[in-house]
Amino acid sequence: MERERETQVSNTNNILMLPGDGIGPEVMGEVKRVIDWMNDKMDTGFAVEEDLVGGACYDAHGCAVTDETVAKAQAADAVLLGAVGGPRWDAVARQHRPEAGLLRLRKDLDLFANLRPALVFDALIDASTLKPEIVRGLDIMIVRELTAGVYFGQPRGIETRDGVRYGFDNQIYSEPEIQRVARVAFDLAKKRGNKVTSVEKSNVMESGIFWREVVTKLHADEFADVELGHMYADNCSMQLVRWPAQFDVIVTDNLFGDILSDCAAMLTGSLGMLPSASLGARDPETGKIPAMYEPVHGSAPDIAGQNKANPLATVLSYSMMLRYSFDMTDAADKLDQAVQNVLAHGLRTADIMSDGMTLVTTSGMGDAVIKELEAMG
């Protein structure tokens, strides 16, 4: 009996759920229903613990995330986050703002690779501002370096020099930092279209020259079987709206990745549909990869608590968790298909509503996803 109990414990997958602020608790609630359904029907074995982050944590503890919550995140098999922020915390000191909790989690878990898919669902082609023939079948993965670059470089600040005020930030990358995020991109490409586009500004930035050199050498040494192209960041932004189908996997630095992933997101027609994953390095002893999954959309405080929010981006973030943290490909595929089916049946939350479709609430969309899962058996 004791041996059986130990086996059950070892097979438990521990998820730390951080609903956050605004619509975060609502959309996370629908994901929790999906997790419970999969535990019951598919024996996925997830144990879920909830905690506070962002403004909710500031209100309770005076900081955006506590040391105890960070420790829980480090011990968990994966972290699922809702959203942080809102105008009610605009006057809070910068180090305690809701976004500081998200940045600390990324930094302390060393989540250096941010995966941002830009996927156009067939049923939502008309939601894109681009012509259908441009975005039909679009499936891009942007891999953004997340823990270095200009957002974290030192020195940085605002100073007065000889009576003149200056603001400055430092863009800096080490070779290992570039190598590890590029390696993630190449590995992903081998499971997709086998093509990587590395993006920088090597025409005007020394860090861009260095980035291109490091990626090129890594490609030659370890990934010569993957097609590699290089592109300047400004040209990449233009090409994303001109001919996005040319891309498979894009790898780039923190700043350009922040900009380009939002540009690519709008090709799909709605931020409410887009998930993301942030991954760290695999532990050589345990094989564990630190990971946090979250929807791309913000906390949308204007509709919080009204049962209007679209939970699908968070549902799809959970699907990415199934795929990348737990190797549950079949379960992830099934959940993705359930979302596709719901959209094909014309169900829409307000953010993706169009003529002839059926408007549903946050919980109504959750009901529909579970109904599709049950229909697939």
Q: Which residues are catalytic?
A: 151, 201, 234, 258, 262
Contact between residue 229 and residue 198 where contact means Cβ atoms under 8 Å apart: yes
Closest by CA to 15, choosing from 249, 369, 251, 326, is 326
Q: How far is CA 359 from CA 86, 285, 296, 299, in A?
A: 26, 49, 22, 21
First vs last C-alpha separation in the chain: 32
State the Cα–Cα distance between residues 377 and 365, nearest whole angstrom: 19
State the Cα–Cα distance between residues 177 and 191, nearest whole angstrom: 22
Burial of 234 (0-12, 13-18, 19+ CB in 10 A): middle
User: CB-based contacts of 206: which residues, under 8 Å, 6+ apart?
Assistant: none
Alpha-carbon radius of gyration of the chain: 21
Contact between residue 259 and residue 135 where contact means Cβ atoms under 8 Å apart: no
Contact between residue 11 and residue 45 where contact means Cβ atoms under 8 Å apart: yes
Contact between residue 348 and residue 269 where contact means Cβ atoms under 8 Å apart: no
Beta bridge partners of 276: 294
